[in-house]
Amino acid sequence: MAARLLPLSTDIHLSQLPTTTEPVQQLQNLCRLPDGLVIFTGPTGSGKTTSLYAMLQHLVAIDSRHIISVEDPIEKPHDTYTQLQVNEQAGLDYSEALKAALRHDPDVLMVGEIRDEKTAQIAVRAAMTGHLVLTSLHTRHTSVLSFDCWSLVCHLII
């Protein structure tokens, strides 16, 4: 059994991410986009979830957009946006949860992790139809979206 311990009471701000000023400014600029797809990649423990939550916190601070997150599990409960928990035993996998979330017409959709092609397809379509989609993808390295992953995204767009 493995457990991830995240502090529940402390919000994470973009300025607190362990990086230089330029990437923080780029993330702040991405938060201002009306739509698009932002993918954090990397191995376990590289900060994907922390970065997603920091972006959500920044979005909450800068405007009042309608935000929905789909997570498995919800790692950091938040009361200023809607959080959906994936429950595969009840038939609510990522793709079904995303479809349910999109019925509520969010401005911003956070997908905890893209794990399969169906989820990737829904996330890309959401980004192409006026939603800002924030997500993560497990890869071996933080700086490179693998060729397989990139070709999947390109295939879904075409």
Lowest mean pLDDT among 26-35, 89-98, 143-152: 143-152
Q: Residues near 23 by Cβ (< 8 Å), separated by ≥ 6?
A: 17
Averaged pLDDT for residues 141-146: 58
d(CA 114, CA 62): 26
pLDDT at residue 158 tops 50: no
Report the chain's mean pLDDT, rounded to a whole number.
Answer: 85
Q: What pLDDT is stored for residue 101 in this prediction?
A: 98
Q: How many residues does the chain have?
A: 158
pLDDT at residue 137 tops 80: yes
Domains and CATH numbers, the chain: 23-157 (3.40.50.300)
pLDDT at residue 133 tops 60: yes
